[in-house]
Amino acid sequence: MTTPQPPALQYSALQLAWLQELGIEKPWLPSEQPPASKEIAVVIKQVRTPAATDTVPPAAVMQPAARLPSANKNRSPAPAPVSSTSEQTKVDTQPLAAAAMDMHALAETISACQACGLCRERQQAVIGEGVMQPAIMVIGQAPDDLEDRAGKPFVDRSGLMLDNMLMAIKSSRTQNVYVSNIVKCRPPGNRNPKPAELASCKPYLLRQIELVRPFSILAVGRAAQSLLETDQPLDQLRQKTHTFEVAGQKIPLIVTSHPVNLLNHPSEKAAVWQDLQLVKTVSGL
């Protein structure tokens, strides 16, 4: 019995021209790219080093100040606390104190956090990695079991797919991208985090965004609905420039599929390509 093959990808003439222009007309399959994980700096370790704290990135990865959106100037220090919902349980004061932390203190606090039940089964908190003041901050929903073991966001095949997506717009975690999740600890069985867990962890993300100072946000998969606080289907959120506000600063937010979705549904690539073009445009890349 032969195994059914997925339908061949169909590109419009415009999409094909884009692909050829950037030299990536080959499919974005992880097996076609060299392993990227060895090249990736582990910012979890960097943020534990005082020299790499707060908003002072290595000169080699700094974005010129002129490229920062005007709204990013004169940032105030504290993100707004998370609003309560009917499903939210008691919010621990530990995450709320994040508003005053530098990156080093934030990483230490997250690593030891017990503000919600997800701390019980995690191997380690997954904080983030990449460069400060990036063109793009990629945000997923929560770490999976592989990220939990590695202590890094977006690893293995989905990580390679993400790296290939970024490569398509000439970007990378070592150059101009920071990668993280909303929730820092793996939900058991890789389930979707509960609203109370998202609310508990959100102050950490808000402070992290404030410290990282991204030029734009690329929200992948269900993280888009969580960040935009909507139940709208992903398809209705795509190809639009949303705004995510942190501490009074407005950051453009673009929505796309989770890289793991591309592994399972390669035909999604054409739509993701368009999302990447949009984030590239709003980031000034």
Chain residues that interact with ligand SF4, rule: CB under 6 A: 95, 110, 113-116, 118-119, 125, 183-185, 197, 200-201
| C-alpha to C-alpha distance for 11 and 204, rounded to whole angstroms | 40
Shortest Cβ distance from residue 177 to ligand SF4 (Å)? Answer: 22
Terminal-to-terminal C-alpha distance of the chain: 48
**Ordered DSSP codes for 203-245:** HHHHHHHHHH--SEEEEETHHHHHHHT----HHHHTTS-EEEE
Report yes or no: 93 and 82 within 8 Å, Cβ to Cβ: no
Shortest Cβ distance from residue 183 to ligand SF4 (Å)? Answer: 5
| 3-class DSSP assignment, residue 186 | coil
Shortest Cβ distance from residue 116 to ligand SF4 (Å)? Answer: 3
**Shorter beta-carbon distance to ligand SF4: residue 176 or 208:** 208
**Shorter beta-carbon distance to ligand SF4: residue 183 or 237:** 183
Shortest Cβ distance from residue 174 to ligand SF4 (Å)? Answer: 25
**Shorter beta-carbon distance to ligand SF4: residue 164 or 181:** 181
**Shorter beta-carbon distance to ligand SF4: residue 182 or 237:** 182
Record the tokens describing residue 202, joined without a space. Answer: 């959100």
Report yes or no: 249 and 71 within 8 Å, Cβ to Cβ: yes
| 3-class DSSP assignment, residue 95 | helix
Report yes or no: 48 and 107 within 8 Å, Cβ to Cβ: yes
Phi, psi of 9 (to 5 degrees): -70, 140
| 3-class DSSP assignment, residue 177 | strand
Shortest Cβ distance from residue 124 to ligand SF4 (Å)? Answer: 10
Shortest Cβ distance from residue 106 to ligand SF4 (Å)? Answer: 10
The one-character DSSP state at 48 is T
- β partners of residue 254: 218
Task: Report the alpha-carbon angle 217-135-192, nearest 5.
Answer: 30
Shortest Cβ distance from residue 188 to ligand SF4 (Å)? Answer: 12
**Shorter beta-carbon distance to ligand SF4: residue 135 or 201:** 201
**Shorter beta-carbon distance to ligand SF4: residue 67 or 149:** 149
**Shorter beta-carbon distance to ligand SF4: residue 113 or 131:** 113
